[in-house]
């Protein structure tokens, strides 16, 4: 009798295997989602509050023309990173991303303006990118008074990567560099990585996020919502695109990087092997999180002042 074939070896790293096994998200119903959404938002805040928080010389909340933001400023910082948080557009906020924003500010030696944009389903597209653009305009006016006269840079993860890309496209020539961490870009979920990866979220969860975000069906083909459809990708400054090997969003991020390169943009694309979606914020769970933060910081320092 023939010997049994050995089981295929997983290329998901052990830390990611553990988190993937624990991942459970019951999606709220479309017809009445808010009670469950409020609970999931509160749960995320509670979990984030347990993360270690580094000291930053100055941390203040600011009103950016009606958009709440949190400004982290290490001593001596003159350049500013605008950070747009992930969470499927629906979840997370500046409190959930507080620890990660502190680390980014300290590693880069730059101020970080974390934007608390409006979230669906209460506030659907284009509220979030409008808030991001409002924060950009506010910072441009306020920068001199704040002593933030250096470069302006842009960063986002997941849905925040979508918003960062859209913000850069809406504001050509404003940013010295952009860093996108596993950006959420394609409402059609048509790339192969949705089928070839089986951890973190799936097509059903991704589709739920897009349904909450889009106000009407035609929004799903608007380049301000689906920036892969933009014909202005060549206007971007130097751009870093980071993907995870075991992430349904992997292929759309890498497709973006290819299109940027073809459009003449200076682009660096990095795939983190063995990792799944969401690892960047969790230095307490993933060995790769701190090196990624330092990679982003190094990329920004390379291009600041240009």
Active site residues: 158, 247, 277
**How far is the C-alpha of 195 from the C-alpha of 165, rounded, in Å?**
25
The sign of the torsion formed by the CA atoms of 5, 11, 15, 21 equals negative
Structure tokens given for 189: 């979920």
Quickly tell me which residue has 């409006």 as its tokens: 118
Cβ–Cβ < 8 Å for 167, 84:
yes
**How far is the C-alpha of 259 from the C-alpha of 253, rounded, in Å?**
10
Beta strands across the sheet bearing 58-64: 58-64, 67-73, 111-115, 80-84, 152-157, 177-181, 239-246, 267-276
Task: Report which DSSP code applies to 69.
Answer: E
Q: Which candidate, 223, 240, 239, 160, places its Cα nearest to that of 187?
A: 223
Cβ neighbours of residue 83 closer than 8 Å, sequence gap 6 or more: 97, 101, 104, 112, 113, 114, 115, 155, 156, 160
**CA of 145: how far to CAs of 6, 78, 149, 233, in Å?**
65, 11, 9, 32
């Amino acid at each position: 009798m023939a010997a049994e074939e050995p089981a295929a070896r997983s290329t998901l790293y052990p830390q990611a295997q553990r988190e993937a096994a624990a991942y459970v998200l019951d999606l709220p119903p479309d017809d009445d989602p808010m009670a469950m959404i409020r609970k999931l938002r509160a749960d995320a805040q509670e979990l984030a509050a347990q993360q270690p928080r580094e000291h930053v010389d100055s941390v203040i909340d600011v009103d950016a023309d009606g958009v709440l933001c949190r400004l982290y400023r290490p001593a001596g910082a003159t350049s500013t990173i605008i950070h747009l948080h992930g969470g499927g557009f629906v979840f997370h906020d500046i409190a959930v991303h507080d620890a990660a924003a502190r680390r980014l500010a300290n590693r880069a030696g730059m101020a970080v303006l974390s934007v608390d944009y409006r979230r669906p389903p209460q506030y659907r597209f284009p509220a979030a990118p409008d808030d991001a653009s409002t924060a950009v305009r506010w910072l441009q006016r306020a920068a001199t008074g704040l002593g933030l006269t250096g470069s302006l840079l842009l960063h986002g993860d997941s849905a925040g990567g979508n918003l960062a890309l859209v913000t850069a496209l809406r504001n050509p020539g404003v940013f010295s560099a952009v860093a996108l961490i596993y950006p959420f870009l394609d409402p059609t979920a048509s790339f192969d990585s949705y089928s070839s990866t089986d951890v973190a979220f799936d097509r059903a969860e991704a589709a739920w996020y897009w349904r909450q975000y889009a106000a009407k069906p035609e929004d799903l083909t608007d380049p301000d919502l689906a920036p892969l459809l933009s014909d202005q990708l060549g206007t971007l400054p130097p751009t870093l695109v980071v993907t995870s090997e075991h992430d349904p969003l992997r292929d759309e991020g890498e497709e973006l990087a290819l299109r940027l390169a073809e459009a003449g943009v200076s682009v660096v694309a990095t795939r983190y092997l063995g990792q799944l979606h969401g690892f960047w914020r969790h230095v307490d769970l993933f060995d790769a999180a701190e090196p990624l933060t330092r990679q982003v910081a190094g990329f920004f320092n390379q291009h600041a002042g240009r």
